Every structure is written in C-alpha cells, then in structure tokens.
Copies of this chain bind each other. A is one copy, B any other.
Amino acid sequence: MPLHDFQKYRLMAPGPVPLSQKVIEALRLPMIHHRTPEYEKIFQEALSGLKWMFQTRQPVMILSSTGTGGMEAALVNCLSPGDKVLVVVSGKFGERWKKIADIYGFETEVFESDWGARLDLEAFESALSKPGYKYKAVLTQVCETSTATLHPIRQMAALCRRHQAEALFMVDAISAIGCTPLPMDAWDLDVMVAGSQKAFALPTGLSFVALSERAWEANAEATSPRFYFDLKLERQSNEKGESHFSSSVILIRALNAVLHEFKAIGLENLAEDIGRRAEATRRGANELGLDIYSQCPSPSVTAVKVPSGVNGAKLRDHIEEKYNLTLMGGQDHLKGKILRFGHMGAISPEDILASLEALALALRDLGYADIKDPNIVTALETARRILA
C-alpha cells in the first residue's frame, strides 16, 4: 500500500515545471494590447524585476523564444565570424553552445569536462592561459542540466578575467538562476541567459539576456547577422518603455506575478528552498541504496543512477504510467543510465517524498530486490527532515 496518492499527477522534470496558482490566474486574464500605456507599466515592471533577479544594473532583455534562442542571441550579438571562443563542454547544453558557435563561424576551442565530473579548475586555468590563445569569449553552463552538474562559476569567471582579460565570460544560467547564488555584476559575468520554464516557473516561451558594459562594447563591433534576436534594437525600444516586436502579454503578466512572489521570499531563501529539495532527493536516494550521478550536484536537478541490471527507459515509463509522475531520463550515452528529478517550480515537500517512494516502488515492480520496506521508511524520513 503506497504512502502517497499516486492518482495525483506530478511533473518533476527540470523544466517545464508545475505552475503556481498565481501564475495560472495571470495566464487567464483578458488579453490586452502590448502597445498601450497600461501594458507599458506591466512591461517596465517585468524589466526592473529581471534586473533584480539577475543582480545587475544592466538592462535585461526579454525575447519571445525558448532558452536556446537566448543562447543564440547572446552569441550573435557579441561575436563575429572568425572570433576565437573557448567552450566548456560537459554535457548536451555545452554541446549546444558549440553547435551554435560553429554555425555562426566562430573558431571554437573545446574545454572538455567529463559528464557529471567536478569541473577541474586547474585544467580550466591551463586552458585559459595556454600561450598564444586569446579568446573573444568563454562559454559555459552554470548548471549542465543533462548531467545535473553545477559548475564553480565564481571561480571560473575570476580565472577568465585573470588570464583572458578581454574575453567575454558568457553563462547559460537557464537552469541555475534562482537556484544558486549568481550575482551577475558582483561576479563580473558578461552575458547571462535565462529562460522562463525553469526557476521562474512559467510556461516555455521567454528567454532573458543581459550584457555587461564590456559585452555592449563588443556588441557595437559584432558583425554576426541578427534581426529577430537583435538585443540593441530591443534595448532601444525598452528604453522607450516597450518591446521591439510583439510582446507575450500573458507570459509577462505571469512573470510579474512570479517576481512579486520571489521578492517577498527573497533570492537567498528561494535558492535555499530549491537546494533543500535537491538535498532531500539526494539523501533519500542514498537511503534507498542508490547513487547520485554527478560529483558536483546541481540544486535545480538531481540525476539518480539507475542500478545496474535495471532498464532505465523502462523504469521511467513505468513511473510515468503507474505512479503518474514525470521524470526525465538521460540523453546520449546516459540514456537509460540516470533518472533526473527537477526541483524547480511549484513543487511541495509532499511531491518530493512521493517521487522518492515512486522510485523505490517502481524499482521493486521491475524486480530490483535490494530495496526493503525499512529503506523506504528511512529514505522518506530523511527527506522529510531536510524539507521541514
């Protein structure tokens, strides 16, 4: 007899995430036009709230796109064909940085960090200080979602500044902002990209991009073609109070509802809360006798190793079908090897406990005999204590 109600559907992926009631209420407000004084106020409130989230004095631009569009915007607005860039590749999203950079004709050098490994700062420093290598930009993820690994961004940014004084340090913060400290100005980050369907807990459809002064200077000289993603056009329109192209009225209103809530909670508490969800999941999984995939686990998503002998794809499908719970599997060589639990969005402590129980029961359903009833009880108790 399960301890949790598995009639209830639970979305526990690392984005999209469950929406709060306030967001849902905002989504159903009557449509208004984006070229009206009423909307201008709403839009300006969103822009100013994003600066608070990004912890920057620079403008944050909103694009109607997924996070990938924001990544592309970051690159084409700051770089020109032939520019040398160093790309940190430690999973699928690092590969994505590289793909876009290659397509736009930048000369890419890869700093490879093993999937799930703790990023080796000494090796990173060597790559940055290799004689004769002068980079226009260094690209990295803050959290590599595909492996649920957090990178030491503060130290990486400082190393970049020390050895590549003129390089733009560009971070994909899509699944990190709101989940971990990431003060853009204080840490001297040059470009930061975020997306709506992660810690912002909104539907997919918006990306957010901010540029440092150094990056704006690069922007003035960057020759990569851009129109829809032209951040300068967007910034100029923002200064007049409006978006450059049609604005996503429903998502921006919902964004304000979220930012309002986040301000009441405080950025630090927000990140701590998400971090506790991650810790509860990790410790709970350990109590079930399962290992965590990443050496340096992210607060926003946890990758639990599928025990050997168990078919991970089957496990995920079984959890979806029998326990009404959506988790994500692994990609490429991690296919079937990990299960990823998202910790962002309107998730309750109960949901986290239910996800641990579902994992345990599903493993047993599939014939994995190593989890006993007391393991489950301990796992849930451990997690509950952390979440309390």
User: Which residues of A are interface residues toward B (Cβ below 8 A)?
Assistant: 9, 11, 13, 15-19, 24, 27-28, 30-37, 64-69, 72, 99-100, 103-105, 195, 197, 203-205, 224-229, 245-251, 320, 326, 328, 345
Q: Select which of B18, B31, B195, B245 is within 8 A of A68 by beta carbon.
A: B245
Q: Which B residues are in CB contact (< 8 Å) with A246?
A: 15-16, 66-68, 195, 197, 204
Q: How far is the CB of A174 from chain B (nearest CB, A)?
A: 10
DSSP class of A's interface residues: helix, strand, loop or mixed? loop
Name 10 extra pairs, CB < 8 A, besides A27-B27, A103-B227, A203-B250.
Answer: A16-B32, A16-B246, A67-B246, A72-B227, A72-B228, A103-B226, A195-B246, A203-B249, A203-B251, A205-B205
Q: How far is the CA of A31 from the CA of B33 in the complex (A)?
A: 25
The answer to whether B228 and A68 touch across the interface, beta carbons within 8 angstroms, is yes
Q: Which B residues are in CB contact (< 8 Å) with A328?
A: 33, 35
Q: Which B residues are in CB contact (< 8 Å) with A36?
A: 320, 326
Copies of this chain in its oligomeric complex:
2
Q: Which B residues are in CB contact (< 8 Å) with A16?
A: 31-34, 246, 249
The answer to whether A19 and B31 touch across the interface, beta carbons within 8 angstroms, is yes
Nearest chain-B residue to A29 (Cβ)? B24
Q: Which B residues are in CB contact (< 8 Å) with A203?
A: 31, 248-251
Q: Which B residues are in CB contact (< 8 Å) with A33?
A: 11, 13, 16, 326, 328
Q: Select which of B18, B65, B225 is within 8 A of A228 by beta carbon.
A: B65
* 15 A-B interface contacts by CB (under 8 A): A13-B33, A13-B35, A19-B31, A24-B28, A33-B326, A36-B320, A64-B205, A65-B69, A68-B245, A69-B228, A72-B227, A72-B228, A99-B227, A104-B225, A205-B251
Q: How far is the CB of A46 from chain B (nearest CB, A)?
A: 14
Q: How far is the CB of A119 from chain B (nearest CB, A)?
A: 25
Q: How far is the CA of A33 from the CA of B72 in the complex (A)?
A: 23
Q: Which B residues are in CB contact (< 8 Å) with A227?
A: 68, 72, 99-100, 103-104
Q: How far is the CA of A32 from the CA of B16 in the complex (A)?
A: 7
Q: How far is the CB of A107 from chain B (nearest CB, A)?
A: 15
Q: How far is the CA of A365 from the CA of B80 in the complex (A)?
A: 55
Give the one of A17, A37, A250 with max B CB within 10 A.
A250
Nearest chain-B residue to A251 (Cβ)? B205
User: Known contacts A36-B326, A204-B246, A246-B204; is A30 also within 8 Å of B18 by CB?
Assistant: yes
